[in-house]
Amino acid sequence: MKKAFITNLALVLGLNLSIKPFFIFAIDRGVQNTVGPSEYGVFFGLYSFSFLFNVILDLGITNFNNRNIAQNTHLLSKHFSRMIILKLTLALVYLAISMTVGLASGYDFRRMKLLLILCLMQFFISFIAYLRSNISGLHLFKTDSILSAMDRLIAIALCAPFLWFHFMSRSIDIMDYVYAQLIAYGLTAFIAFIIVFRKAGFISFDWNRTFSIMILKQSFPFALLAMIMSFYNRVDGYLIERLVKDNGVQDGIYAQAFRLLDATNMIAVLSAGLLLPIFSRMLKFKESVESMVKVSYTLLFALAIVVAVSCYFNSYNIMKMLYKNDVEEAAAVFSILMCCFLGTATQYVFGTLLTANGNLKYLNIIAASGMVFNIVCNLILIPRFHAVGAACVSLTTQLLVPTIQVIVVQRIFKFNMIYRLFATLLVFAIGVIVLGYFSSILPFDWKLNFVLMCGASGILAFAVGLLNIKGFLNVMKNG
């Protein structure tokens, strides 16, 4: 299982790190620089709003299905057609609620039109996630890896002519950008559907009330968790747009910094997508998950430390390289937000383990506490400190929630390696901070300093025992 995780993680990261960062830095950043922070800020605020109710699109079905199919692969052909009908029904409910709340929020016609398209995008994103949960549940990780990057590849092909070559004799606007993403997600959903259809066999699209109620009951804890996490992960963009009346400028500044965090979080999300079916199958057959947790968390958290520290010491230079407007403010937000990756890396290992083990009650209590804390603090800090206040709240929440998850995991599984692992990671973190500081005062170009700091951190990882070439080769040889 460790070999499967490492090889497939390398594949999924290789595909995504070659495509998604290009989309983020070349396309998404280019769109923001073209349309300006205010226009993009309006889009970002509505995009965050569209996330608030997207739990209705899924109600925990995807995580439940991933775990269920990984443990009972024969259920795919039995459940698939009914799941499709259920997903479409939930999509109509989500659309109705989102548009109603949008109207109640006072959005004008243009914002409502944009919100409608974004809601359709959310449906396709949710549908793709459900289809991929079947594919990863069957341990078809290579196929899942390709699908994970396909939507961005299509979006690049659609946006590039407008952005770089002024297709139709004009620059790209925010509606071109949104429509391109809608088409990209739609095509990816269609391709994923064909793949799962071929695995599931004959499909009869019929509504079965008893089946739907049964699935919703079993997936409800997953749905509650997804809803709570959506709120405290995305509510900041919406609250900035609502609480700061500057026509989206602060939202645009926050989006500049958040974009890179969102891209980095992709690594943890993709890792969790591999870990959930692996953990689920190992736990079903009563295999020890301790070494799997150690390998996955060591890789993710060591990377998170290097990313967070290097971005903190180079925040201004990175923002200046990427953007034209509000560089100093964006750099202040960016230096705080990138440290959130430490919490995300922790959460997507230990939270995924608790999910695979069925400990949804603990996860929901922890997440609900984090949501309340996040919203209350945002309501206090955003009006006073704007985007920087939201960033501080996000960091505090993202560190607090996974810390409690680690404590719960240790109480349940009683891992022998946990204290030694965290001690080693602490030593590594202190060393990386020292390296980051000295690299920032070297008399070279900041990009060279950045590379030197990352290289030195890799050497440090071997020196403190986080990485071990012999152990890696043994894993690849023996699994």
Query: Domain range holding 331?
Result: 2-415
Total domain count, the chain: 1
Asked whether 83 and 61 are in contact (CB, 8 A), the reply is yes
Looking at the domain assignment, is residue 475 inside a domain?
Answer: no
Looking at the domain assignment, is residue 40 inside a domain?
Answer: yes
- pLDDT at position 423, please? 92
**Structure tokens that stand for 395 in this block:** 């960091």
Nearest to 56 by CA among 133, 6, 126: 126
Find the DSSP H helices in 285-359.
290-313, 315-322, 327-337, 340-346, 352-356
CB neighbourhood size of 326 (10 A): 17
Looking at the domain assignment, is residue 430 inside a domain?
Answer: no
- pLDDT at position 434, please? 94
Place of tokens 């000295």: 438
Give me the DSSP letters along 239-265.
HHHHH--STTHHHHHHHHHHHHHHHHH
Looking at the domain assignment, is residue 460 inside a domain?
Answer: no
CB-based contacts of 109, cutoff 8 Å, min separation 6:
none
Amino acid sitting at position 328? E
Residue 438, helix vs strand vs coil: helix
CB neighbourhood size of 10 (10 A): 11
Q: How far is CA 260 from CA 15, 212, 327, 336, 450, in A?
A: 18, 38, 14, 12, 16
Query: H or E element: which one contains 276?
Result: helix 249-284
CB neighbourhood size of 244 (10 A): 21
- pLDDT at position 475, please? 44
Looking at the domain assignment, is residue 151 inside a domain?
Answer: yes
User: Which pTM was predicted?
Assistant: 0.71
Asked whether 221 and 361 are in contact (CB, 8 A), the reply is yes
Looking at the domain assignment, is residue 275 inside a domain?
Answer: yes
Looking at the domain assignment, is residue 253 inside a domain?
Answer: yes
pLDDT tens digit at each of 479 positions of the chain: 555 555 656 666 666 667 777 887 788 888 888 887 778 878 878 887 887 787 788 777 776 766 666 666 556 666 677 778 888 888 999 999 999 998 988 888 888 999 999 999 999 998 898 888 778 767 677 787 788 788 888 999 998 887 877 666 667 788 888 999 999 999 999 998 888 887 776 566 666 677 677 777 777 777 777 677 767 677 787 788 788 877 778 888 888 888 788 778 877 777 777 787 788 878 888 888 888 888 889 988 998 999 999 999 999 999 988 887 788 888 999 999 999 999 999 998 999 899 888 888 898 899 889 989 999 999 999 999 988 999 999 999 999 999 999 999 999 999 988 889 999 999 999 999 999 999 888 888 888 988 899 899 989 988 888 876 655 445 445 44
* Cα–Cα distance, 340 to 460 (Å, whole number): 22
Looking at the domain assignment, is residue 213 inside a domain?
Answer: yes
Give me the DSSP letters along 124-171.
HHHHHHHHHHHHHHTT-HHHHHHHHHHHHHHHHHHHHHHHHH-GGGS-
Biggest CA-to-CA distance, the chain: 69
CB neighbourhood size of 203 (10 A): 14
CB-based contacts of 4, cutoff 8 Å, min separation 6:
139, 141, 278, 479
